[in-house]
């Protein structure tokens, strides 16, 4: 039971570079989410998806792009990374219930 996985787990990139964080779930959950977690802010929603090919902005979407061509994958792309995007990124999924299941997170550092 693989559940929900994220890759890479750790990433260091330079300002201005494009970077893609991957999220994969094996449960066929309809809903998927991307959060970032920073000290003092808790978890903030970046983007979410209700189904394949349906995505929408969350609280802090600027500088990020998502796609969802398959139910099981929900990649998050930073088009031109900035230092303010240094954070821990969590992917989550859920089905008809409200409990969200989180991946292990990606620690991203932008230098």
Q: How buried is residue 42: exposed, middle or buried, by Cβ count under 10 Å (0-12/13-18/19+)?
A: exposed
1 binds other proteins, rule: CB under 8 A = no
- As measured in angstroms, the least distance from the Cβ of 81 to other proteins is 22
90 binds other proteins, rule: CB under 8 A = yes
Distance CA 40, CA 54 (A): 31
Please identify, among the stretches 20-28, 69-77, 78-86, 97-105, the one whose residues bind other proteins according to the rule CB under 8 A.
97-105
102 binds other proteins, rule: CB under 8 A = yes
Alpha-carbon torsion angle 37, 87, 67, 65, nearest 10: 110
Distance CA 7, CA 105 (A): 8
- As measured in angstroms, the least distance from the Cβ of 5 to other proteins is 11
CA 45-48-52 angle, 5° bins: 165
Nearer to other proteins, 56 or 79 (CB): 56
What are the two backbone dihedrals, phi and then psi, of residue 80, each rounded to the nearest 5 degrees?
-150, 95
Site string for other proteins, 40-59 (x = CB under 8 A): xxxx-x--x-x-----x-x-
The site for other proteins (CB under 8 A) is made up of 31, 33, 35, 40-43, 45, 48, 50, 56, 58, 90, 94, 98-100, 102-105
């Amino acid at each position: 039971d693989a559940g929900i996985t994220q890759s890479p787990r750790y990433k260091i990139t330079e300002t201005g570079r494009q970077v893609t964080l991957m999220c994969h779930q094996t449960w066929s959950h309809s809903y998927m989410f991307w959060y970032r977690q920073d000290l003092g802010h808790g978890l903030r929603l970046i983007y979410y998806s209700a189904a394949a090919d349906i995505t929408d902005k969350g609280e802090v979407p600027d500088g990020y792009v998502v796609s969802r061509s398959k139910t099981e994958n929900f990649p998050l792309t930073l088009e031109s990374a900035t230092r303010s995007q240094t954070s821990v990124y969590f992917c989550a999924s859920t089905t008809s219930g409200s409990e969200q299941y989180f991946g292990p997170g990606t620690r991203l550092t932008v230098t």
